[in-house]
Structure 1
Amino acid sequence: MTKHMVQNLTPISHLFAAHRRADDIVAITAGRRIEWATFEHDVANLAARLANTEGNRWLIAEADAYSLAVGVVAAFQADCLPMLPANLQPGHLTDLSTTAHGVISSIERPGPMPWIKTFEKDYSAVVSSLRTLDPNSVEIILHTSGTTGVPTAIYKPLRCLEAEIVSAAKILTPTPGLVNHATVPPYHIYGLIYRVLMSLSANAPFSADTISYPEELVSAIKRESGGMLISSPAFLKRALSVLDLDRLKTLLGPVMSSGGLLPPTVAAAYNAVLIHPITEIYGSTETGGIAVRTVTDADAPTPWRPLSGVKVRLDSKHDVLSIRSPMLTDESWALTNDRVNLLSDGLFELKGRADRVVKIEEKRVSLPEVEQRLTDCSTVMAARVIPLTGDDGERQILGAVIEPSEAGWDMITNRGKAGLRKVCRSALKQYLPAVVVPRKWRFVIRIPEDHRGKTSNEALVALFEKQQGRRITPIVEGRQEREDGVTIHLRLPKDLFYFDGHFEGFPILAGVVQINWAIEFAIEYFSIPSGFRRLEALKFYKVLLAGDAPRLELNYQQNTGRLNFEYGIRDTKHSSGHIIFDKPQ
């Protein structure tokens, strides 16, 4: 091992001094294996074109992990400053383009700014040899949603990324030959570090494609005869009821989860079966990784253990966790926004966000505490609580969005939503003053989350928006009842309430709305007396837009309690899935 190697890892700054074999596999995409020689060529070609172009700040707009890897490493080689977006929405990319000299992308031109294709021959560019970099002078810009919801730019020197790779490798190092699969995009820090850069450092192959559905994970793992998984909590929660873990466990290698908290009940359920338990990482874009844990007992979740090199303490002035870490840009202590309970040996328990404390009628209330008290109820799977303006337009109240458990859906079936609401309120009153107990309630099949497992405040507020005078249902233009089900012909009016802000100038019908409509129409047409259980095989192939006229096909299998639904336009399938209800008694 040379002085540049740490636990068989090559620092990104010394990547091209590692003397890799030309046929070492870097990435796998659509069944194609991309070798090291191809990666070197693609990086050198793009770096030469960047060096031959005016400007040094380049926004990399790539969903494909291999294309992003080429873009980032080539920008480093060309002495450019790569910028990664928070998402790939056109409006967001346009906003970021005002601070960039141009965009690197292998897909369509994302706007009016200068555009360099990730893969393109330019015979006028002089391709030079790839060099060793100074990790202190090379930087990257990441973007994350700030407290106001406006994306915030985070500057990271390469040495901080390399320090995080070294720290992560003490938990998990990709194995050469074992493919690194992921459900998280490569442009977020978690995907960038654990999915892309750590694989490059370890000379281990990664999948360029992002997994969206459990069925895709199963196919990918079987196709490659195994693999590890870099996941979000949102995916693991959705997949638990779909995956056959007993059959998958011999093929599935180490699993990482980050980007939010994985419910202990979900983690424990996986870890009771998997050979390699799920390892959770706690951290943020600003701080990098902070701590790690593996939960096997849902009733007594394992506390968090700081990553190697990370020091933690309680900042008594702000009552939040403070850290010192090699992943930070300097050696000073940095504050987080997380409240903690410090235990012995540096271990700690997270107690919720400090910036989620609000005043209700002059009483301070921690929203994470209210959420925790709710999820302590056996009838509640997940909960989110937000401040709202009361009906008088002045007083502040709380609103609760509840994802019921199986027991919760049973209660709704037997006692209605009012019955479950009463149970939740009674549970809260044991710990909280009555004035801070939520006044408004919404019960949903699934709390809205994005691909990172994050729930935005805007998405929650929208569930409480007043809808008077606004259409919240599609126009039904015809029905065709069949022996095995019903086909309903719909039209989506452009003034539909659910198109507001989703998205500006490009109105898309959210998947959760499609699911809710399928359930509502099914209840109207079929005898479904029992409660909702779970979703299976949920897939969204193509978006539904304002003005579209889709058909909704429903088939209910009474003996199994399974409702099959499919939205389509002519020969194109837009979405489909199975909704499982209790079997009729």
Structure 2
Amino acid sequence: MVAFAALLVRGQTNLLPPSRAAHAVDAALTANPGSYALGDAALDPAPPHYLHFTPVAGSAGSGATMLVADAAVAAMGYTSGSTGVPRANPKRWDKLAISSGHNDALLRALAGGDYHVVATVPPQHMYGLEFSILLSLFGHAAVHAGRPFFAADIAAALAELPAPRILVTTPVHLRALLDSGQALPPFAGIVSATAPLAVELASEAEARFGVPLQEVFGSTETCVIAHRRTAHEDAWTPYAGVALHPQPDGTRVEAPQLAQPVVLADIVELLGDGRFRLCGRNADLLEIAGKRASLGDLTHKLLAVPGVRDGVVFQLDDTDAMGIRRIAALAVAPGLSVTAILDALRGDIDPVFLPRPLKLVESLPRSETGKLPRAALLEALARDQGPGTGDR
């Protein structure tokens, strides 16, 4: 947060690569000539363009108010690469102030006033930036300085903050937290994003911890634009001023924090009360042999198979002898065989949409935020094609 603010007052832009992997950082630096990396770790050998600083405890600033120009490009957010190559999206300071105001109002409603945040998502991801760094810079929220990963770390971080506390997390972290059985100190609510949250998982979390869970919807391009209490409703409530316009290639989004409308690949159904339902993504829609399905729905059915703890269905780039792009899947299912999973899927999925191949893996190649970059999925599928793969 210190480095983020320091760059702002110097009129510089924070680059937010899709991950902390060396290749992702190098790509962001290469795409922005004259850029550099800043960190508090003493790296040996230090990579090119790396500046090391050592925070001084108890040091005091000049006391002068540090101002940031409204039109300043405060950050350059990169998409995750889950649908291809990461893309850069500039974020103006005044527009971030608007979106942060909406997020702050949502968390205030959960906490009943001022609140304190523990976030398990890294701040270079737009969701992490919005619900950690920016809440502190624009509002009265206090955010825990650490980024806890394991269940015991989350419990310790919550205990270090005064009430009311809010946990900002992802479905992957939430699943691990529930499976651990870790007891948590009292807190006011949960916020989740980065991947679709299953109703069953949301309901289990609310029942276990006795707090409401709000799932937020947005993108790197738009920031968060809507929310819902997933355990109790399937429709999303847009933030104030957000307007959605369905079109053939997705949905055009108009919002106060956008300088111009943005078209997302998400397909929505508008409801009469101003809310909307997500119906998949334009790129997820499949049509094979005159039949239609969506990758999102196929993934949901894979996850519904008893014993499947995690999984994803995706389409390959190569085609078969009929010129059709094959459908593949990765599944984490200890104790199950590929045959057992395919047999279970046959009851819910048309045979033309059964994943071939389906590969069993120990874990999905998720990023720090729970995303599944397409390149990582293809690499995992290609690795060790053997007994754990079904293609029948």
TM range, smaller chain: 0.7 to 0.9
Q: TM-score, length-normalised on structure 1? A: 0.58
Q: Which runs of 5+ in 1 are unaligned?
A: 1-68, 473-585
Q: Which residue of 2 aligns with 1:14?
A: none
Q: Which residue of 1 aligns with 2:331?
A: 402
Superposition deviation, residue 365 in structure 1: 4.3
Q: Which residue of 1 aligns with 2:341?
A: 420
1:317-343 deviations in Å (ceiling 9; x for gaps): 33x33221112123xx32211112222
Q: Distance in 2 between matches of 1:462 and 1:96?
A: 22
Q: What is the aligned counterpart of 1:108 among 36, 39, 42? A: 42
The reply on whether 1:459 has 2:346 as its aligned counterpart is no
Q: Which residue of 2 aligns with 1:82?
A: 14
1:379-414 deviations in Å (ceiling 9; x for gaps): 65544212234787975321122344xxxx67x3xx
**Alignment root-mean-square deviation, CA:** 3.2
The reply on whether 1:230 has 2:168 as its aligned counterpart is yes
Alpha carbons 1:312, 1:324 under 8 Å: kept: yes
Q: What is the aligned counterpart of 1:312 among 230, 233, 244? A: 244
Q: Distance in 1 between matches of 2:292 and 2:278?
A: 19
Q: Distance in 1 between matches of 2:99 and 2:124?
A: 16
The reply on whether 1:205 has 2:142 as its aligned counterpart is yes
Describe the SS at the equivalent of 2:297: helix
Superposition deviation, residue 424 in structure 1: 0.9
Q: Which residue of 2 aligns with 1:252?
A: 187
1:410-449 deviations in Å (ceiling 9; x for gaps): 7x3xxx54233212123213xxxx3333232223454432
Alpha carbons 1:240, 1:266 under 8 Å: kept: no
Describe the SS at the equivalent of 2:366: coil
Alignment of 1:500-515 (within 5 A): none
Q: Which residue of 2 aligns with 1:491?
A: none
Q: Which residue of 1 aligns with 2:390?
A: none
Q: Distance in 2 between matches of 1:386 and 1:85?
A: 24
Describe the SS at the equivalent of 1:94: helix
Describe the SS at the equivalent of 2:348: helix
Describe the SS at the equivalent of 1:266: helix
Describe the SS at the equivalent of 1:327: coil
Q: Which residue of 2 aligns with 1:435?
A: 352
Describe the SS at the equivalent of 2:224: strand
Alpha carbons 1:103, 1:114 under 8 Å: kept: yes
Q: Distance in 2 between matches of 1:341 and 1:196?
A: 33
The reply on whether 1:172 has 2:107 as its aligned counterpart is yes
- Assess, with a 3 A threshold, how the Cα gap between structure 1 residues 390 and 310 changes in structure 2: closer, same or farther: closer
Q: Distance in 2 between matches of 1:131 and 1:222?
A: 32
Describe the SS at the equivalent of 2:179: coil
Q: Which residue of 1 aligns with 2:298?
A: 370
Superposition deviation, residue 269 in structure 1: 0.8
Q: Distance in 2 between matches of 1:361 and 1:310?
A: 38
1:230-286 deviations in Å (ceiling 9; x for gaps): 111210122112134xx53x6122211111211110001111243431111000110
1:195-222 deviations in Å (ceiling 9; x for gaps): 1221233333221110111111112223
Describe the SS at the equivalent of 1:449: coil
Alignment of 1:33-432 (within 5 A): 69-98=1-30, 99=32, 100-108=34-42, 111-113=47-49, 115=51, 117=53, 119=55, 129-146=64-81, 149-173=84-108, 179-224=116-161, 226=163, 227-244=165-182, 248=184, 251-297=186-232, 301-315=233-247, 317-318=248-249, 320-330=250-260, 333-358=261-286, 360=288, 365-378=293-306, 380-388=308-316, 389=318, 396-404=325-333, 412=336, 416-429=337-350
Q: Specify the code of the residue in structure 1 equivalent to 2:234.
A: T
Larger radius of gyration: 1
Identical amino acids, percent of aligned pairs:
24
Describe the SS at the equivalent of 1:171: helix
- Assess, with a 3 A threshold, how the Cα gap between structure 1 residues 438 and 102 changes in structure 2: closer, same or farther: closer
- Assess, with a 3 A threshold, how the Cα gap between structure 1 residues 139 and 182 changes in structure 2: closer, same or farther: closer
Alpha carbons 2:39, 2:50 under 8 Å: kept: no
1:492-525 deviations in Å (ceiling 9; x for gaps): xxxxxxxxxxxxxxxxxxxxxxxxxxxxxxxxxx
Q: Distance in 1 between matches of 2:323 and 2:290?
A: 14
Q: Specify the code of the residue in structure 2 equivalent to 1:464.
A: L
Give the number of aligned pairs. Answer: 376
Superposition deviation, residue 355 in structure 1: 1.2
Alpha carbons 1:304, 1:347 under 8 Å: kept: yes
Alpha carbons 2:266, 2:280 under 8 Å: kept: yes
Q: Specify the code of the residue in structure 2 equivalent to 1:113.
A: H
- Assess, with a 3 A threshold, how the Cα gap between structure 1 residues 238 and 138 changes in structure 2: closer, same or farther: same
- Assess, with a 3 A threshold, how the Cα gap between structure 1 residues 463 and 83 changes in structure 2: closer, same or farther: closer
